[in-house]
Structure 1
Amino acid sequence: MARGVGERPERSPAAILSEVEYPISRDDLAQAAAEADAPAEVINFLRSLPERIYTSPNDVLRQFGEAGARFGLFSTHVRHRGDLGKEAFETRAPPTKT
């Protein structure tokens, strides 16, 4: 997938976002990429997005970070939105007195 300098932008998953009509489902987005002869890794990346209806390119882009982590593109330490603020509410063991 396009991540480095010098790679063609059309190899990026974001390239298809301006080529489709919204609203669009995840599967239709992946199908549009396949019909546009996108590389297999781009199609698979789009298939890794949450299954839902997307209303705009920005709606899809919001999911790219988490999908990238699930797809193994970024750090293996993934903090999903559902975990935000979790530490503030988790109970921690009080420090032991010595």
Structure 2
Amino acid sequence: MGHFIITFRIKNDAGYQSRYESFTKKVSELATEGCWEETSSFYALRAKGTASSICSDLYLYTEFDSTKDKMVVIDLDNQEKATKGAIEYPATLEASLGF
């Protein structure tokens, strides 16, 4: 069981609400012991898998649209990250996280 952070942005357009609801529902399903979600577009949770597998699950099994939306899944235990969507400043993300 790993400790993860998921941060995301769903583009505000006609399909926003549906994509947002499917994404947040899947995050809740992946969390093994509930998740912290007091701030917007951010979750802290424990889950099975890797940053890559969680990112893939959220991409494949929700209405997430990588042509419009973006997400970063961070594995705190293994210091790994996985992304989907157009990350505009990947070098800054890597430098800020340290991995």
Higher relative contact order (CA 8 A, sep 6+): 2
Instruction: Say which one has the larger Rg.
Output: 1
The TM-score bracket by the shorter chain reads: 0.3 to 0.5
Greater share of helix residues, 1 or 2? 1
Query: How high is the TM-score relative to the length of structure 1?
Result: 0.34
